[in-house]
Structure 1
Amino acid sequence: MIFIILVAIGIILIVASGSFLIQTKKDSYEKALALAALGNYVDARVIIRDILDNSPSNVRAHYVIAKIYAMEGDTVNEARHLEKIKR
C-alpha cells in the first residue's frame, strides 16, 4: 500500500514539474519580447539563445528571435532564423 502511495506521489511530482517547465519557457518568450519592445535587444536575445542552446531546433524560439531581430532592423539574422523554421 505504501509503495502505491509513493508511486502516485512520484507521478504527481513529475507531472507538476513538467507543467512548470512549460510555463517557465512560455514566460521566457514573453519576457524576451517585452524586453525587445523596450529596446533591450541584447538581453532579449540572451534569453532566447539560452533556449536555443538547449533545444537548437525549437521552432518557437527561432520565431521569437527572428521577431527580435526584425524589431532591431537586422534583416539578415531575421531571415537566417526564419530559414531554420522552414527546415
Structure 2
Amino acid sequence: MQRMGMVIGIAPEHIAEYKRLHAAVWPAVLARLAASGIRNYSIFLREPENLLFGCWEYHGSDYKADMAAIAADAETRRWWTFCSP
C-alpha cells in the first residue's frame, strides 16, 4: 500500500458547484476508483485559500496502468468535465 496526495487550487466561483458535486459522487466513478486500487480517498477544502488537499491509499501493483484505466473510463471522463481543475 502507498499513501499518496495532491494539492490543487480552485477558483472561488467554482466552490459551490464543487461542493454540490462531491456531496454525491457518482457511483460509477467510485466503482472505477475502487477497481483501480484507490481506497480511503478524501479531499479537504481549505478556505479562504481555496486549496483542495486530496489523500488516498493505492492498493495495487501497477499504478500507471491503474491510472490509465481510470482515465479511459467513460463515466470518469464525463465526471472530469465538471470537476477538472
TM-score (norm 1): 0.28
Structure with the higher helix share, 1 or 2: 1
Structure with the higher strand share, 1 or 2: 2
- Greater relative contact order (CA < 8 Å, ≥ 6 in sequence): 2
